[in-house]
């Protein structure tokens, strides 16, 4: 009886990490440029976001944080049914509005999640803001 329990737990232990890693690879994030200036625009492109099986829209949360601090921004992006790729331009100066504050130099982490989609997207990227010369 112990052998069955041991075999069952070993089999289950081998299957669970594979399922978790497969879910994490369903989406991707890329940031351009990977290193730039405090006033530069950073394009955060997300691809491979899973669609809602019920045919509804998908909410994606982008959380940008400077490491070691609470500085950052949060974006909520709502994708219409069938859309799996999008991008956000961070730190962009819009016409008719004052320019955004320069980013503080340092490394920024970008976390992408689909909080309301079971088995959805979770991935992390990063970019570096270099000190102004």
Give a yes or no: residue 10 inside a domain: no
> Between vectors from CA 94 to CA 93 and to CA 95, what angle results, nearest 5°?
120
Pairing status of strand 86-90 against strand 42-47: antiparallel
123 or 1: which leads in pLDDT? 123
In the chain, how many H helices and how many E strands?
Answer: 1, 8
Q: What is the pLDDT of residue 8?
A: 44
Give a yes or no: residue 7 inside a domain: no
CB distance 11 to 59 below 8 Å:
no
Which residue segment(s) compose the domain that 61 sits in?
A: 27-129
Instruction: Quick: pLDDT tens for 23-39.
Output: 444 799 999 999 999 99
Q: What is the CATH number of the domain that holds 103?
A: 2.60.40.10
Q: What is the pLDDT of residue 55?
A: 87
**4, 42, 60, 112, 129 from 47: Cα distances, Å:** 42, 16, 11, 11, 23
Give a yes or no: residue 89 inside a domain: yes
Q: What is the pLDDT of residue 12?
A: 42
Query: Residue 22 above 90 pLDDT?
Result: no
Kindly report the length of the chain: 133
The reported pTM is 0.77
Give a yes or no: residue 8 inside a domain: no
Instruction: Quick: pLDDT tens for 65-79.
Output: 999 999 999 999 999
Query: What's the structural domain count of the chain?
Result: 1
d(CA 50, CA 46): 11
């Amino acid at each position: 009886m112990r052998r069955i329990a041991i075999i069952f737990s070993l089999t289950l232990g081998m299957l669970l990490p594979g399922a978790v890693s497969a879910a994490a690879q369903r989406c991707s994030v890329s940031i351009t440029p990977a290193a730039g200036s405090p006033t530069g625009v950073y394009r955060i492109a997300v691809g491979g976001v899973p669609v809602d099986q019920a045919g509804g829209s998908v909410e994606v949360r982008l959380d940008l944080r400077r490491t070691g601090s609470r500085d950052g921004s949060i974006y909520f992006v709502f994708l219409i049914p069938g859309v799996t790729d999008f991008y956000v331009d961070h730190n962009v100066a819009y016409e008719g509005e004052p320019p955004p504050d320069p980013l503080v130099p340092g490394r920024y982490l970008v976390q992408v999640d689909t909080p309301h989609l079971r088995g959805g997207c979770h991935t992390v990227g990063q970019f570096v803001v270099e000190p102004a010369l």
